[in-house]
């Protein structure tokens, strides 16, 4: 689904000034999350801390676990009962969780993973995954806290709808900035019944339930087995890839230069492009909202006839691989991002700044610009 920007002014709702992590946690609770397990790791920690206070008050369970691996496996167990469960971490902790995320994808257990990336944009980790097998995770990358509130609830819905783990891609700005947000429960529609959820009631009936990546079934009621089951899962992810793409863009139909960015960086790019547009530049922006499934066809359409496709991301070039796959003209692509880390190691560095982004766009837009483009 592609959404054109910008939004029409809305009637003023009741706003609460909340730190991003708090807003995300409260939104998860509104979505029905009743199990959360996590390990302290900046900038995910405030999400865990808020959940430890708020989730029990909402009738749920929050466990401060002794390792990320414990946490994700607890969430898997909780999800296996049909409960709405979540965990999270950042970079290194997410890496530890890869086996369990793949497991949940292959044994079809819903859960939400909050990847609050720390000091660079971990696009590969969020989209390629480090588990085994043919699985993907639906990943939403909000650009600011209000959008994160919506995405959080959407991810719980998609996770239940598709019986698969889903990911919220965040960062320190999303976690730590305080913004007035409108917290409300969003209805995303009907969900199928959860007859697969473990509750013990089918034990001893001959039709007991089974959650197993190999799906061998029972001696009296054989299942598809790993071959059939994993083919079915792969087909499921192919279907999801068709139906769950989301993106946003502006001025694409009327620009020489299109800047592509995701997450918080996309909000900065949007700001700079509006500024340059006011000054007369024929420039536009494109933002994938789902990192996976990557909105390839939308990007292809947006890049048609564009002279320069500038990819801005805070890393050595990750999303650019997907841009290369779909852009109408690969030779038009230039990389204007880079690794930029705050001296503390805990946040982004000086590259995530409007004047810097503006300078890079202008430098790349100059004719015969030497800006690096990877082969």
Partner 1 sequence: MTSACLRETVPAEVQILLVGIGGQGIQLIGKTLALAATTEGKHAMLAADYGGEMRGGPSNASVVIGAAPLRSLPILPSAGAAIVANHKFTGPVPERLRQGGLLLVNSSIVDGNAGRGTHRVVEVPATALAAELKAPQSAGFVLLGAFNRLTGLVADEQLVAAMTSLLPPYRAQHAATNAEALAVGAAAVAEQEVLS
Partner 2 sequence: MTRELELVPTDRPPGGDARKVADFRPSLMLGEHSLCPGCGEPVALRILLETLQDLGIVQRTIGVVGHGCYGSFVRIMDVDVLQCLHGRAPSCATGIKRMRPDTAVFTMQGDGDMVNEGLQEVIHTAARGENVTAILLNNGVFGDTGGQQTATTVLGQRTKTSIEGRDAAQHGHPIPLADIVASLDGVAYVARGAVGTAGSVARTKRMIRTAFESQLAGEGFSLVEILTMCPTGWFVGAPQGAEYMAESMEQVYPLGDLRPRVSGTS
List interacting residues with partner 1 (CB under 8 A). Answer: 7, 9-10, 12, 15-17, 146, 173, 176-180, 264, 267-268, 270-271, 274-275, 278, 344, 350, 352-356, 358-359
The tokens of 175 are what?
């976690």
C-beta atoms surrounding 239 within 10 Å: 10
Residue that is written with structure tokens 């009631």 in the block: 201
- Verify binding: residue 236, partner 2, rule CB under 8 A: no
Residue among 196 and 271 whose Cβ is closer to partner 1:
271
Q: How far apart are CA 340 and CA 335, in angstroms?
A: 14
Q: Which does 220 bind (CB under 5 to 8 A by kind): partner 2, partner 1, none?
A: partner 2
Residue among 200 and 355 whose Cβ is closer to partner 1:
355
Q: Could you tell me if 5 and 133 are in contact, meaning their C-beta atoms sit under 8 angstroms apart? A: no
Residue among 248 and 270 whose Cβ is closer to partner 1:
270
Query: What is the footprint of partner 2 within residues 48-77 (CB under 8 A)?
Result: 61, 63, 65-67, 69-71, 73-77
- Contacts with partner 2 by CB under 8 A: the residue count is 48
The tokens of 332 are what?
């038009």
Q: Could you tell me if 198 and 80 are in contact, meaning their C-beta atoms sit under 8 angstroms apart? A: yes
Residue among 68 and 270 whose Cβ is closer to partner 1:
270
Q: How far is the CB of 359 from partner 1 (least distance, A)?
A: 5
The tokens of 269 are what?
């790019």
Residue among 60 and 284 whose Cβ is closer to partner 1:
284
- Verify binding: residue 100, partner 2, rule CB under 8 A: yes
Q: Which does 163 bind (CB under 5 to 8 A by kind): partner 1, partner 2, none?
A: none
The tokens of 362 are what?
């202008």
Binding mask of the shown chain, residues 185 to 214, with x at each position contacting partner 2 by CB under 8 A: -------------xxxxxxxxx-xxxxxxx
Q: How far apart are CA 123 and CA 27, in angstroms?
A: 24
C-beta atoms surrounding 363 within 10 Å: 13
Q: Could you tell me if 314 and 340 are in contact, meaning their C-beta atoms sit under 8 angstroms apart? A: yes
In sign, the C-alpha dihedral spanning 37, 56, 156, 30 is negative
Q: Which does 78 bind (CB under 5 to 8 A by kind): partner 1, partner 2, none?
A: partner 2
**Strand pairing class (217-218; 221-222):** antiparallel
**Where do contacts with partner 2 occur on this chain (CB under 8 A)?**
34-35, 37, 61, 63, 65-67, 69-71, 73-83, 85, 99-100, 103, 107, 198-206, 208-214, 216-220
């Amino acid at each position: 689904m592609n959404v054109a920007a910008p939004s029409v002014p809305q009637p003023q709702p009741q706003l609460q000034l909340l730190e991003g992590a708090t807003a995300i946690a409260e939104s998860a609770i509104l979505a029905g999350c009743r199990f959360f397990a996590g390990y302290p790791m900046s900038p995910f920690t405030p999400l865990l801390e808020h959940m430890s206070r708020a989730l029990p008050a909402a009738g749920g369970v929050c466990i401060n676990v002794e390792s990320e691996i414990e946490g994700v496996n607890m969430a898997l167990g909780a999800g296996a009962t049909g409960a709405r469960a979540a965990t999270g971490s950042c970079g290194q902790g997410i890496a530890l969780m890869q086996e369990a995320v793949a497991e949940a994808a292959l044994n079809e257990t819903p859960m939400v993973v909050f990847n609050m990336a720390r000091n660079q944009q971990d696009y590969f980790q969020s989209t390629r995954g480090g588990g085994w097998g043919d699985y993907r995770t639906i990943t939403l990358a909000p650009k600011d806290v209000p959008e994160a509130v919506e995405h959080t609830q959407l991810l719980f819905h998609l996770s239940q709808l598709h019986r698969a783990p889903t990911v919220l891609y965040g960062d320190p700005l999303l976690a730590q900035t305080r913004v007035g947000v409108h917290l409300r429960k969003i209805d995303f529609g009907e969900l199928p019944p959860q007859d697969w959820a473990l509750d013990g009631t089918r034990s001893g009936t001959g039709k007991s339930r089974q959650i197993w990546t190999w799906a061998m079934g029972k001696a009296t009621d054989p299942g598809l087995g790993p071959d059939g089951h994993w083919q079915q899962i792969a087909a499921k992810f192919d279907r999801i890839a068709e139906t769950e793409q989301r993106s946003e863009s502006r001025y694409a139909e009327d620009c020489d230069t299109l800047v592509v960015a995701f997450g918080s960086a996309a909000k900065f790019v949007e700001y700079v492009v509006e500024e340059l547009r006011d000054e007369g530049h024929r420039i536009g922006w494109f933002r994938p909202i789902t990192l996976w499934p990557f909105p390839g066809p939308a990007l292809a359409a947006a890049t048609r006839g564009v002279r320069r496709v500038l990819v801005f991301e805070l890393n050595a070039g990750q999303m650019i691989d997907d841009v290369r796959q779909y852009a109408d003209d690969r030779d038009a692509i230039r990389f204007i991002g880079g690794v930029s880390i705050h001296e503390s190691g805990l946040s982004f560095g000086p590259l995530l700044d409007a004047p810097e982004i503006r300078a890079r766009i202008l430098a790349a837009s100059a004719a015969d610009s030497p800006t690096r483009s990877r082969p």
